[in-house]
Amino acid sequence: MTTPRLFHVGLMIALIAVSGVAVAAGSGSKKVKGVAPSAEKAVPLAVGQSLPDVKVTTEEGKSVKLSKALEGKPAAIVFYRGHWCPYCMKHLAGLKEIAGELDALGVNLVAITPDKSEYIAEAKAKADLSIDIYSDGKLDAAKAMGVAYQMDPDMAERYKKHLVESTGHDTGQLPLPSVFLTDAAGKITWVFSNPDFKVRLSNEEFLAAVKKAQG
């Protein structure tokens, strides 16, 4: 028969063990400001909000404010994961088909990626696309626009080699593939994002959204 004293000691040991497991489980998932804990929990900036005052890096390695990069024109901003992602490259290549029409509509089509500047030319060559692409290596723009998220440990390990090579960082963080439309004043007029990185905006939906936003 267990004595009350032994029962209490055993209970305390069990509680300490459970607490230790909880701490250990949470030790690898630090919260980072602006980074959602998963793709499903990312909250992109909404229609009516203004573009954040953040800097991105040009293909030549120069730092520039995103607002200045858009040249005060209505814009379509495409976030993609990197030159190593086949879904991203397919999406970029597809944009070539509507780039001319977007330009005719007065829309400045640009893309933002965590890739280092040195990989931007490679991505443009792969996609055969001559738009401005900006590097967002530390995800400052992605965080400010609500599309940065933390991968789960298994996925982070799977992509670790790609991310270290293309960004120089091992954070396990990526931008949610997204499209933001903005007016000339930098107000967001339309947003597309999907936590499933395999799902991308079609060209037909893209053009329809642009035309609707322009009234």
For 97-148, the pLDDT digits (tens) are: 999 999 999 999 999 999 999 999 989 998 999 999 999 999 999 999 999 9
pTM of the model: 0.84
Q: Do residues 66 and 52 make contact, with C-beta atoms less than 8 angstroms apart? A: yes
Which among 49, 45, 33, 46 is positioned nearest to 149, based on CA atoms? 33
Spacing of C-alpha 103 from chain mean position: 24
Report H helices in the chain: 4-26, 66-69, 86-104, 120-127, 140-144, 153-167, 203-213
For 161-194, the pLDDT digits (tens) are: 989 999 988 899 999 999 999 999 999 999 999 9
